A and B are shown apart, each in its own frame.
Chain A
Amino acid sequence: MIRRIWTIMRKEFIEIWRDPRSLGFVLSMPVLMLMLYGYGISSDVKRVPLVVYDRDGTPAARELLRRFTSTEYFLVSAWVDSLRELRLAIDRGDARVGLMIPEDFSQNLGADRPATIQFVVDGSDSNTASIAIGNIASISKSTELAPRGLRPGIFIRPKTENPVPIELRTWVWYNPELKSTNFLVPGLTAVILMMLAALLTSLTVAREWERGTMESLIASPLRPHELMIGKILPYVVIGLVDVGLILLVGVFWFRVPLRGGLVLLTTSSMIFLLGSLGIGLFISAATRSVQVAFQLSLLTTMLPALLLSGFFYPIENMPMLLQAITYAIPARYFLVVIRGIFLKGVGLAVLWKELVFLSLFAALTLIASSAKFKKRLE
């Protein structure tokens, strides 16, 4: 039995090794995706183009503007002379935020009256808009402005007669800089593992059907479970190599903190990997065509892992029906686990529920696909 499993494994490795395209795909995809998501889809909103309509034109107004442009969050993209032009700049997409400084700005400031400035924010990209508004608020509130008599543009009017002054101080834990790569990199591990494992296993079995080699295997004394184990193990190894790659790039390039233990990280990655491999085997038991296997695995693993796992979009914001569906998606649980290990450094005591679910899921898919596989052969 060990001999047969080993024979299958060795063959799989030779096949992977001799197929430079798939080998390149397997090794470069995690790094490529990390770069793509780490840089391209970073949700940190920086260097937002700003269009300025300065009706005041005094040094005080320029000082105010400097406060915004000296941060890396805003970049002046245009100066305009009318509200119409400001609107046009935003319509065209030349700017996402417009700043209008009224003509009585410096007068009011000098007279110690509230000086108001107006921001116009392009809300068509709600995510960028809300982050930009947050940045505007925090810059306006910054202490340096107070001695100069500037008031923040956003007021909270207390409703009680005797207002108790409340100062809001936020203390962000775990990811104090709110760096989105810290959040994305662990999440990517889930997406990559899920996709890669399901895709590669379903392809390798479908290929045996397409080339007719499966028939030779069925006519041999090889047992179905030996074939399955022999097919799965090489991809467990590759999956773990990919986890290693993601870790290296994530920790050393993107400086994502790894606070938890490596052993727990590896073990839980393996459990998750087995579940994805099970999905891949299940797909390959359902089809004999490489192309169908390819499409099915992308559809059943990549899309849910990307969209319904909480990787991009917070689950709490989804409609109830979608929220209910996410409970059946293993990536959802793995995301909790891996973000917990990476960012919070928590251990089994906190994550055991998720790990139990992932183990159950892995066992279920492996048993189901094994049964389906056997039936298919008979």
Chain B
Amino acid sequence: MTPHPDPPPQRGEGIGNVVSNTGLAIEVNDLTKRFGRFLAVDRVSFQVRRGEVFGFLGPNGSGKSTTIRMLCGILIPTSGSGRVAGFDVARDPERVRENIGYMSQKFSLYEELTARENLDFFAGIYGLAESDSARRREEVLGLSGLTDYRNVLARELPGGLRQRLALASAILHRPSVLFLDEPTAGVDPISRRDFWELIRRMAAEGTAIFVTTHYMDEAEHCHSLAFIYQGRLIASGPPARLKGTLHGCLVEVEVPTDQLHAALGALRALPLAREVAMFGAALHTTLDSAEAIPALQETLRSRAIEARRVEAILPSLEDVFVSLVAQEAEQ
């Protein structure tokens, strides 16, 4: 999967969806949710433009689902404000619900209903006009490649198709903002690729997409990212810029497998190497700058460890996330 996200369209262009007067699809300021003494979401702020794919990343229990639920009008925020599709989530949750699509973690479908019946059900719930609903149903069936499966019971559909049916149910009413909570969990890689293809197409048509995931490779598909950790937003921005925020220089060291542990110990003992971690058969470590590489090579040589390759590499989002969480934990 080579990530090549299309650039998000500029505000004002595209199809006539409901947009707030600021042109933002989602606008969140100091959003907070407290359950008793537990602070699930702590003063989170961010913005999502129309046509933007916004990735919301964080480990389980970090506050991802709580945030998504507040934005969908399911949970009422303790404090702070959120505007979705131009409506306030606390004051106008019903208008918010009419203008968003929500696909929950479990691809919640009615198992005993066919693909077509599931879609008809959601068309009825969202109050699509009788004449429009049949046409729109065929449209989303085609879009999600489910036309041949229309009369199959949802429980008999394989994982990838269930996921697409859940997505089809969520976009039936042409929402201007789409919320996807872990949309690719438990789906095979090919289906995941097709799914992202679909998401990017919808974004290109002007839909704002808010997606949570813990697959770091998928995060590369997003125009913009936000990392949430223990209820707090610890970083946000486009993937490329986030990678740039990693201080220092990421270095990959390749050694023979039988020397991996010796090398790990040697690097951890080295004061100039921060955060040494095993990455497959190699080691990743962060140096203050690339100029420290010869010193690192010297150390390994002195310990009779054969460094096959030592080079500065571009950090992946996973490196960024590991480093951000480590910094956060130190504080």
Residue on B with the closest CB to A220? B125
Known A221-B125, A221-B126; contact A216-B112, beta-carbon cutoff 8 A: no
Q: Is A37 an interface residue (CB 8 A)?
A: no
Known A4-B124, A218-B74, A219-B73; contact A211-B117, beta-carbon cutoff 8 A: no
Q: Is B110 an interface residue (CB 8 A)?
A: yes
Q: How many residues of B contact A (CB 8 A)?
A: 31
- Chain A positions 59-106 with a Cβ under 8 Å from a chain B Cβ: none
Q: Is B195 an interface residue (CB 8 A)?
A: no
Give chain A's interface residue range (CB within 8 Å of chain B): 20 to 34
Q: Is A7 an interface residue (CB 8 A)?
A: yes
B residues near A11, Cβ cutoff 8 Å:
110, 113, 117, 121
Stretch among B99-107, B203-211, B214-222 lining the A interface: B99-107
Q: Is A15 an interface residue (CB 8 A)?
A: yes
Q: Is A164 an interface residue (CB 8 A)?
A: no
User: Are A216 and B113 closer than 8 Å at their CB atoms?
Assistant: no
A residues near B179, Cβ cutoff 8 Å:
219
User: Are A211 and B108 closer than 8 Å at their CB atoms?
Assistant: yes
User: Are A14 and B117 closer than 8 Å at their CB atoms?
Assistant: yes
Q: Provide the bound-state CA to CA distance between A378 and B169, in Å.
A: 23
Known A213-B110, A215-B108; contact A7-B124, beta-carbon cutoff 8 A: yes
User: Are A221 and B98 closer than 8 Å at their CB atoms?
Assistant: yes
User: Are A219 and B102 closer than 8 Å at their CB atoms?
Assistant: yes
User: Are A213 and B109 closer than 8 Å at their CB atoms?
Assistant: yes
User: Are A211 and B111 closer than 8 Å at their CB atoms?
Assistant: yes
A residues near B94, Cβ cutoff 8 Å:
221, 223
Q: Is B18 an interface residue (CB 8 A)?
A: no
Q: Provide the bound-state CA to CA distance between A8 and B109, in Å.
A: 14
- Chain B positions 149-196 with a Cβ under 8 Å from a chain A Cβ: 153, 169-170, 179
- Chain B positions 32-75 with a Cβ under 8 Å from a chain A Cβ: 72-75
- Chain A positions 201-257 with a Cβ under 8 Å from a chain B Cβ: 211-223
Q: Is A6 an interface residue (CB 8 A)?
A: yes
Q: Provide the bound-state CA to CA distance between A377 and B97, in Å.
A: 14
Contact of A15 among B97, B112, B120, B126 (CB under 8 A): B112
A residues near B104, Cβ cutoff 8 Å:
212, 215-216, 219
- Nearest CB of B to A77, in Å: 54
User: Are B124 and A219 closer than 8 Å at their CB atoms?
Assistant: no
User: Are A15 and B127 closer than 8 Å at their CB atoms?
Assistant: no
Q: Is A161 an interface residue (CB 8 A)?
A: no
- Nearest CB of A to B70, in Å: 11
- Nearest CB of B to A83, in Å: 68
What string of 1s and 0s marks CB contacts (under 8 Å) between B77-114 and chain A?
00000000000000000100110101011101111110
User: Are B125 and A222 closer than 8 Å at their CB atoms?
Assistant: yes
Residue on B with the closest CB to A213? B108
Contact of A6 among B98, B124, B126 (CB under 8 A): B124
Residue on B with the closest CB to A15? B112
Contact of B106 among A3, A19, A211, A377 (CB under 8 A): A211
Q: Provide the bound-state CA to CA distance between A36 and B250, in Å.
A: 78
User: Are A220 and B112 closer than 8 Å at their CB atoms?
Assistant: no
Q: Is A18 an interface residue (CB 8 A)?
A: yes
Known A219-B102, A220-B97, A221-B94; contact A4-B127, beta-carbon cutoff 8 A: yes
